[in-house]
Amino acid sequence: MLTRVYDDALRPLGLQMPQLSLLVATAVFGENGASMGDLAMALVMDRTTVSRNVGPLEKSGLLRVARSPRDARVRIVLLSPAGERALVAALPLWEAGHARIREVLGAKTTVAMREQLSGVVAHAADFGELEDASK
């Protein structure tokens, strides 16, 4: 439901929330970009999901994928100038979506929910250890 609110807010740009998250994470890594693995770790996703989400953003010109100069097997994701412009345009739309969520849920519930979700993300490595142990 929350993702849908953000997706509706971002619709004028043709972006969905998971795509915006990927653009933001790529921007955080800076001009040297990030490997698929680094993005997966930052976004608490598996590499296959990151790779699948990079494809459409690369096709639309918002991201660029290149080979690492240190290891040709590693693909590096870089934010394109169009991706930078999309981020600037997306911020007020994301803020409008967030304001809508705060309006419906109330500030106290919104803060509590963010804190609880941050706690889940903080334990992502623990979930990975459980997954690895079951193999």
Band of residue 128 on the pLDDT scale cut at 50, 70, 90: low
Q: What are phi and psi of 15, to 5 degrees?
A: -110, 155
Q: Residue 19 is part of which domain span? A: 2-128
pTM to 2 decimal places: 0.84
Structure tokens at 127: 């979930």
Quick check: is 91 in a domain?
yes
| 3-class state of residue 59 by DSSP | helix
Q: Is residue 133 situated within a structural domain?
A: no
CATH of the domain at 94: 1.10.10.10
Tens of pLDDT, residue by residue over 58-100, are 999 999 999 988 888 899 999 999 999 999 999 999 999 999 9
19 burial via Cβ count (<10 Å: 0-12, 13-18, 19+): buried
Number of domains present in the structure of the chain: 1
Is residue 115 assigned to a domain? yes
